Amino acid sequence: MTEANTQQTSIKKILPLILATAIFMQMLDSTILNTSLPAIAKDLHESPLNMQNAIISYVLTLAVFMPASGFLADRFGTKKVFIFSLVLFSLGSLFCSLSQNLTHLVISRVIQGVGGSLMTPVGKLALIKTFDKSELLKAMNFAIIPALIGPVLGPLVGGYMVDYLSWHWIFLINIPIGILGILLGLKFMPNYKSDDVDFDLKGFLIFAAASLLLSVSLELFGDMQNISPVLLVFIMGFLFLYYYYKHAKRGGNPIFPLNLFQVRTFRVGIVGNLATRLGISSVPLLLPLMIQIAYKQSAVTSGWIIAPMALTAIFGKSSVIKILDKYGYRQTLMVNTFIIGTLICLLAIPDIHTSLYWFVPIIAVLGFFNSIQFTSMNTISIADLRNFQTSSGNSLISVNQQLAIGFGIAFGLIVLKLFENTNLINGEIHNAFRLTFLTVGILTILSGFVFRRLHISDGKNMKSKEE
Residue-wise pLDDT tens digits, 337-349: 999 999 999 988 8
Q: What is the pLDDT of residues 123-170, one digit of tens each?
A: 777 777 777 656 665 666 666 666 667 667 777 777 888 888 888 888
Find out whether 141 and 17 touch, Cβ atoms under 8 Å: no
List Cβ neighbours of 419 (8 Å cut-off, separation of 6 or more).
425, 431, 432, 435, 436, 439
Find out whether 294 and 433 touch, Cβ atoms under 8 Å: yes
Find out whether 37 and 289 touch, Cβ atoms under 8 Å: yes
Q: What is the pLDDT of residues 254-288, one digit of tens each?
A: 888 888 888 888 888 888 888 888 888 888 888 88
- Is CATH 1.20.1250.20 correct for 260-467? yes
The residue that leads in pLDDT, 102 or 149, is: 102
Q: What is the pLDDT of residues 183-211, one digit of tens each?
A: 888 887 878 777 666 777 888 888 888 88
DSSP-derived secondary structure for 27-55: HHHHHHTTTTHHHHHHHTT--GGGTHHHH
Sequence-ordered strand ranges (E) for 104-147:
none
1-195 and 260-467 in the same fold: yes
Give the helix/strand (H/E) hosting 252. Answer: none
pLDDT surpassing 60 at residue 88:
yes
Q: Which of 400, 277, 298 is nearest to 344 (CA)?
A: 277
Find out whether 196 and 227 touch, Cβ atoms under 8 Å: no
Q: How many CB atoms neighbour CB 251 within 10 A? A: 9
**Which string of b and e fits 172-183 if b means at least 16 CB within 10 Å?**
bbbbebbeebbe
What confidence tier does 91 reach under pLDDT thresholds 50, 70, 90? very high
Find out whether 284 and 389 touch, Cβ atoms under 8 Å: no
Find out whether 327 and 74 touch, Cβ atoms under 8 Å: no
Find out whether 131 and 125 touch, Cβ atoms under 8 Å: no
Distance of CA 67 to the CA centre of its chain: 15
Fold (CATH) for 1-195: Growth Hormone; Chain: A; (1.20.1250)
Domain ranges of the chain: 1-195, 200-254, 260-467
What pLDDT, on a 0 to 100 scale, did the predictor assign at position 3?
A: 54
Q: Which of 135, 57, 136 is nearest to 102 (CA)?
A: 57
What's the predicted TM-score (pTM) here? 0.80
226 three-state secondary structure = coil
What pLDDT, on a 0 to 100 scale, did the predictor assign at position 224?
A: 55
